[in-house]
Amino acid sequence: MLENYLPVLLFMIVGLTIGVVMIVLGFVLAPSRPDSEKLSPYECGFEAFEDSRMKFDVRYYLVAILFIIFDLEIAFLFPWGVVLEEIGLFGYMAMAIFLGILVIGFIYEWKKGALEWE
């Protein structure tokens, strides 16, 4: 049983090894010539004029969370589409209920104005 996992283990070891070797080679072989311009704080090409720890508007976080919620439904749709023939009508109805709940949530957020950006 464990011999079935040997190719996966070898793949992970080889992948990690190649990744670590590339990062180390980048640090070893890359030229390092820091000067005052490279070490200065960078903010869109301008000198920093405000505190970098300023507070963001709550709407920014709300839009980000809504994006994550509604974007993750795609992660559920791909595997569902692959096994749709195997799960039959039950799987179809379960996904219809799931998408219905998401649509109701989307309409609620739309009506509340959470998607409006001023």
**51 pLDDT higher than 70:** no
Instruction: Parse the chain into domains and list their residue ranges.
Output: 2-112
pLDDT, averaged across the chain: 84
* 69-85: pLDDT as tens digits: 878 888 888 888 899 88
Fold of domain 2-112 = Methane Monooxygenase Hydroxylase; Chain G, domain 1 (1.20.58)
Report how far residue 67's alpha carbon sits from residue 73's, in angstroms, rounded to the nearest whole number. 10
User: For the chain, where are the alpha helices, taking DSSP H only?
Assistant: 6-29, 36-39, 58-71, 73-82, 84-112
